[in-house]
Structure 1
Amino acid sequence: MLPSPAGAPPKSGRVWPVRRSRPAPLPYWPFAALIIALGVLLRVRQWWFARSFWGDELYVVHNLRDRGYLDLLEPLAFSQTAPPGWLWLERLSLQLFGASEHSLRLVPLLFGLALLPLVGYFGRRLMPPPSALAALLLVAIAPFLVGYSNELKQYSADAFCVTLLVGIALLLSRRELTWRGGVVFWATSLAVLVLSTLAIPVVAALTALLVVHALARPGRDREERLRELVRFVAPAPAWIVVAVWVYVRLLGPGLSDPQLKAYWQGKSIYPAHPLSDVPATVDWIGATYRTLATVPFVVWSVWVAVPLVVVGAVLCWRRLNPLAVFILLAPLAVGLGGAALSIYPFNGRLALYAVPSWLMLAGFAVASPRARQPALGWVGWGAGAALVVAVAVPQLAMDVVVTANPARAFHQGGGANVADYRSALRHLSAELRPGDLVLATPVSWNAQAYYGPPPDGYVVPAEPAGCAGQPVSTLLAGRSRVWLFQATDWDEPQNRDLIVRLGSGGAAVTERTFRGARVVRFDLTGTAAVGDDVCLVPPPRGGGVR
C-alpha cells in the first residue's frame, strides 16, 4: 500500500464530512456608522439653515432672556412649560453664544444627535444585527425626530432621556436584578428627571414592569425573589423625593395652566365622554391613532402600522422575552393612559418621546424567525422587511424635500412651525420711513418683541358696541402711511377683517405675504375717517409699546 501524500487524509472506507464555513456575520458598526452619519447630516442641515423662530419658540426665548437661572425654576410665562435642567442648558447656551437661532437650538440639536449612537448601542446589545440596523435607520430618518432636533423646545431631550431609560430597563430585564443594576437605573432616572418631563411617569411604568419581572421569575423561592427586589428598589426613595419636589414645585403648575388645559380640550385631545362609554372611547382611540400616525410617527396606513407592531412584538418576544415587549411599549402606554385620564396631551410633537422605542420594536420585524422550516423563516423575514420599507420610504421622501428646501420644515398645527416672521419683520424695518405708524395684532407680539421693529400699538376689530378704550383713529392724524404686521398662522378671519376696516375710505392697500406672516401698508388719502372701528388694546403679556 502506497503511503498517502503529505497532508492528505488516510484512505479508508469512511467518508469524511465536508466542513462548510459559515458566512461571516454582518458587520454591525461600519453600517451603523454610515446610518448615524446620515442622521447627523439630516439634523445638522436643518440646524445650519437656522429658520425663523415661530410662536412657541419665541415665548421660550422671552423666558430665557428675561430670567436668571433661579427665576427659571418658577412657572414659565406665556403658558409655557419645560424641565428645569433643559432650561438651564438653554440659558447657558444663550450666555455663551448669544440669542441667535443657531445658539438657542444647539441644545435640542445635541440631544437629537446623541440619540443616534444611543439607539445604535442598545440595538447592538439587544437585537440581531439586521434588526438593530433597521431600528437605527428608522430613528435616523424619522422626520419629526429630525425636525424637533432643530426647535427650541424640549422634545428631542424627552426622546433621548426616555430611550436611555428604556434601554437600561431592557438590559436589566435579561438578568437578575442586582444592587449595581438598581444603582445604575435609579441614578440615571435622577439625572434625566430634570431634563425630561416625561421621565417621571416612564420611570414609574418601567419600575412596575421590572418589579413584576423580579417577583415572577421562575425557579426562585419567595425569599430569593424578595431579596432581589429589595436590592433593586433600595435607591428608589431618593428618586421619589426628588420626583415629587420637581413635579409639585416646577412641573405641576405649568401642566395645570388653565389656558393650556382649555387649548387641549378645544382640540379634542382628551376623551369627550367617560371611558365607560365604549363606542365614544373606541372613536377617541381611532382619532388618536390617526393623529399620531401623521405626527410624529409618519405611518400612512393602519395596514402598515398594526402588522409592523404585531410582527415586531412577536419576534421581540421570541428573541428576548415577553417583558421586553412591554418595556418597549411602555412610553406609548404612558402617553395613551395620560391622555385617557385627561392628564397629558398625548398628541403630535408631545408624543415624540415614544417614537424611538416604537421604532426599536418595529426593527425586530426584520429579525429572521427561528422557524423549523427555512422557507417559512424567509417568508416571515420578507414580510417584516416589506413593512419596514413601507414605513421608511415616505419618511425618506419627506427628508429629501426638507433637505433640499429647509425652509419648508414640517407642517404642523396649521404650518405654525414654518412661519417666517424674521423675513417679514426685516422687510418692514427696511421699508419704514420717519413718521410711519406701525400697528400689530396681539398674537404678533412675541415676534416683534424679538425681531423688531416695535409697534406703536396693538389693534383688534371693534365690537358692535364700539371700543372699550381708544380707537386707532386717534393715532392717524398727520399720518400718510400705516403699516400692519400680522402673524397669519393665528386668527386669520380677524386678520382679514382688520385689513378691510383699515383700508376703508379709499386707502390704498399693499400686501406682502410671507410664510405665516403678512405685512400690509395703507396709504391714507386724508379725506375719510379711518380707524374708528379698530380698537387699540394693551400690549399682550405685559409687553411694551414704544
Structure 2
Amino acid sequence: MLWVVVLIGIGWLLRGRQYLFNRSLWLDEAYLAVNFMDRDLGQLLFEPLSNGQAAPLGFLALTKLLTTGLGVEDWVLRLQPLAAGLLTLLAAWGLARKTLPHRAAQATFVGFLALSPVLVYYSSEFKQYQNDVLATVGLLWLAAHFDLQRWQRDAPVLAVAGALAIWLSHPSLFVLAGVGLVLWIEAIRQRQRAAWLAVSGAGLLWVLAFALHHTLVMKTLAGNQHLLDFWRFAYAPLPPDSPTEWRWYLDSALALVYLAMRHVGVAHHGMLVAWFDGLNLGLLALSVAGSVALAWRAPRIAAIGLTVLLVTLAASALHLYPFRSRPTIFLVPLVHLGLAALVQAALDRRSLPARHLLAAVVAGFLLLVPASASWKVLRKPHNDQDMKAALLHIASQTMPGDGVVIDSMSHKAFDFYSRAYGVQVMPVLVFRPTINQYHDAMATVRRLCIEQPMQRSWVIVTHRLQERSGFLQHIASVAPALQRWEGQGAIALLYDFRDSDYCRKYAARSRPPSAPSSALPTQ
C-alpha cells in the first residue's frame, strides 16, 4: 500500500508541475477555447462549435460553469482535465485491487498511469481526452466490482455512472458496450435472471443517454468532410485484403503502445519512427503476453477489454471513430493492465525460486520506460507553442502604428491572449499557410504594401515553427529583421517593409493613374 500511495503522490506531483507551469494554449486548445469567449451556455450546448471542434456536452457545461465564476483564463479551462487526471489515479487503485491480487502488481498498474508522460500532459490540456481515460478506468473498476448476486447494490451505481460518462466522454460508449455485453452474458450463463434484467435496464439507460446526447450535439458532426479527411488514415480496413492493410493493424498496435508508455506532449496524428524501434516492439510483445495472462487471472476484465477493442475497431471501419493518436488515449489503461498482469503472472508462479525478484525486475524495467520520459517533463514542462511569451515581448517593444502578421493556424491563440497582453488594438493581417512558402511570404508582403494596414510589422509564428523556416527566409529576403525574439516553439520578428524595393514596386502599381484635367482649353 505504501508504494501505491507514493506512486499516486508522484503522479499528482507530475500533473501539478505541468499544470502550474501554465503553458500557452496550442492550436487545438485555442480553437476550442475561443468558443467560451463570446458564447453563453445555450450556444455552447445547442449550436455547432466553431473551428470544427467537438466536445461532450458535460465537458462543455462544466467548463462554462468554471469560466463563469473564475473567468475565461487558460488555467481555468484546464481545471477540469486536471481534476480528471488526479481522480484517474485513485480509480486506478480501485481497479487494481479488484483485478490484480498482489500488491506489487497493483502498484505497477497504478505506476504506469501515474508516470505515463502522455497522461501527465493531457491532465493539463484543455480537451476532453483525460475525461476519456477517467471514464475507462472508472467503468472498468465498477465492472470488476459488480456482483451478480448483489445487483441491487451495484446495478444502480453502474447505470448512473455510465449515463454520466456518456455526457463527459465520447468513447465511453465503447467501454460501456464492453461492460454491458460481458455482464449480460455472465448473467445468462449463471442463470441470474434478476441480475440480467438489472444489466439490461442499465444498458437501456445508457442507450437513452447516448440518443439524447447524439440528438443535441453529435449529429452536427455527421458527414463532416473535414474530420473525415483529417483522419482518413485512421479508419480500420475491414476486412483487410492486402499486406498494406494488414500492416495498418500492426502500425496501430505499435502506435497505441508507444502512446501509453513513451509519448511526450501532444499526440499528433503523424507516424513516428520510434514506433518501430526494438524497445517499442518488445513492449508490444509484452503487452500481448500480459493480456493473455490477464485473461487467466481476471477473465471478466480481459473480456471487457477485448470487446472494447473490437467495438472501437468496428466503429473505425465504419468511419465513425478514428483509431489512432489522441482519440485512442482512452485505450491506454488497457495496455497498462496487460503489462501489470505480467508482474502478477510472475508472482503466481510459485515454483519459481526467485519469483519475487523476477517480478521486481520486470516491474522496475517497465516502470523505468515512462518514468524516464516524465522525469524530463518534471525538469522542463512541455510548452510547444509559447504565444504568451511572444506577446509579452511584443507588448514591451511595440510602437504606435505597429501591426501583427500571423498565419491562420496561430491566429486563434493570438485572439485568446491579445486582450490580456494589451495588443488587441493592433491591426492584424492573417494569411493562410500553404505548401508553397515562397508564395505565402511574397503574397503576404504584397498585401502589406498595397493595403498599408500598419507601419512596422510583427511577424508571429507559433504553429509548426520548424516547418515554416522557408516562409521566414523568404520574408527576410524582402527586408532585414529589426528585432528577433525566439522562444519555445514560437518566434516574433519585427520588420519595416515600407522602404523595400519589393514594396515600392507594388505600392506604385496600386496607385490609380493621374486623373485628366477637367479645365477647358483657353482660346
TM-score (norm 1): 0.79
SS in 1 for 2:494: strand
Partner of 1:319: 297
SS in 2 for 1:530: helix
Partner of 1:146: 120
Q: Contact 1:439/1:482 (CA < 8 Å) preserved in 2?
A: yes
1:492 corresponds to which of 467, 484, 495:
467
Structure-2 separation of matches of 1:450 and 1:52:
10
How far does the alpha carbon of each residue in 1:330-368 deviate from its partner, in whole angstroms, 9 at most, with x for none? Answer: 444443333333321222222221222331332222225
Structure-2 separation of matches of 1:153 and 1:477:
35
1:156 corresponds to which of 118, 130, 135:
130
Structure 1 residues 398, 498: CA separation in 2 closer, same or farther (over 3 Å shift)? Answer: closer
Pairing 1:270–2:232 present: no
CA drift of 1:44 comes to: 0.8
Q: Contact 1:168/1:185 (CA < 8 Å) preserved in 2?
A: yes
Structure-1 separation of matches of 2:165 and 2:210:
11
- Where structure 1 has 5 or more consecutive residues not aligned to the other structure, the ranges are 1-27, 218-223, 410-416, 535-546
1:285 corresponds to which of 240, 244, 249:
249
Partner of 2:145: 171
SS in 2 for 1:182: helix
Q: Contact 1:158/1:196 (CA < 8 Å) preserved in 2?
A: yes
Partner of 2:405: 439
What is the 5 A alignment of 1:450-489? 450-452=416-418, 453-454=423-424, 455-459=427-431, 471-476=447-452, 479=455, 481-489=456-464
Structure 1 residues 308, 52: CA separation in 2 closer, same or farther (over 3 Å shift)? Answer: same
Structure 1 residues 301, 142: CA separation in 2 closer, same or farther (over 3 Å shift)? Answer: same
Pairing 1:303–2:282 present: yes
Structure-2 separation of matches of 1:527 and 1:146:
48
Structure 1 residues 170, 330: CA separation in 2 closer, same or farther (over 3 Å shift)? Answer: farther
Partner of 2:330: 353
Pairing 1:215–2:188 present: yes
Q: Contact 1:183/1:235 (CA < 8 Å) preserved in 2?
A: yes
Structure-2 separation of matches of 1:274 and 1:517:
41
SS in 2 for 1:520: strand
CA drift of 1:235 comes to: 4.0
CA drift of 1:497 comes to: 3.2
Pairing 1:75–2:48 present: yes
Partner of 1:186: 159
Structure-2 separation of matches of 1:369 and 1:65:
54
Structure 1 residues 533, 245: CA separation in 2 closer, same or farther (over 3 Å shift)? Answer: farther
SS in 1 for 2:217: helix
- Equivalent residue letter for 1:361: G
CA drift of 1:59 comes to: 1.3
What is the 5 A alignment of 1:389-538? 389-406=364-381, 409=382, 418-452=384-418, 453-454=423-424, 455-459=427-431, 471-476=447-452, 479=455, 481-489=456-464, 492-493=467-468, 496-497=470-471, 500-501=474-475, 503-504=477-478, 506-508=479-481, 510-524=483-497, 526=499, 528-530=501-503
CA drift of 1:261 comes to: 1.6
What is the 5 A alignment of 1:21-100? 28=1, 30-73=2-45, 74-100=47-73
Q: Contact 1:331/1:353 (CA < 8 Å) preserved in 2?
A: no
Pairing 1:260–2:227 present: yes
Structure-2 separation of matches of 1:191 and 1:131:
30
CA drift of 1:378 comes to: 4.3
CA drift of 1:462 comes to: 8.8
CA drift of 1:136 comes to: 1.0
Partner of 1:119: 92
Number of residue-to-residue matches in the alignment: 479
Structure-2 separation of matches of 1:296 and 1:532:
55
1:342 corresponds to which of 309, 316, 319:
319
SS in 2 for 1:301: helix
TM-score (norm 2): 0.83
SS in 2 for 1:262: helix
- Percentage identity across aligned positions? 23
Structure 1 residues 34, 501: CA separation in 2 closer, same or farther (over 3 Å shift)? Answer: closer
Q: Contact 1:76/1:254 (CA < 8 Å) preserved in 2?
A: no
Structure-2 separation of matches of 1:391 and 1:256:
42
Q: Contact 1:308/1:384 (CA < 8 Å) preserved in 2?
A: no
Partner of 2:215: 248
CA drift of 1:499 comes to: 5.2
Structure 1 residues 501, 114: CA separation in 2 closer, same or farther (over 3 Å shift)? Answer: closer
SS in 2 for 1:526: coil
Structure-1 separation of matches of 2:58 and 2:406:
35
Partner of 1:231: 198
SS in 1 for 2:405: strand
- Equivalent residue letter for 1:70: G
- Equivalent residue letter for 1:423: A
Partner of 2:516: none
Question: Over aligned residue pairs, what C-alpha RMSD do you find?
Answer: 3.1
SS in 2 for 1:194: helix
Structure-1 separation of matches of 2:453 and 2:184:
74
Q: Contact 2:180/2:199 (CA < 8 Å) preserved in 1?
A: no
Structure number having the greater helix percentage: 2
Pairing 1:110–2:80 present: no
How far does the alpha carbon of each residue in 1:371-424 deviate from its partner, in whole angstroms, 9 at most, with x for none? Answer: 6x7433745x65555443333112111111111111xx2xxxxxxx61111111
Structure-1 separation of matches of 2:117 and 2:365:
15
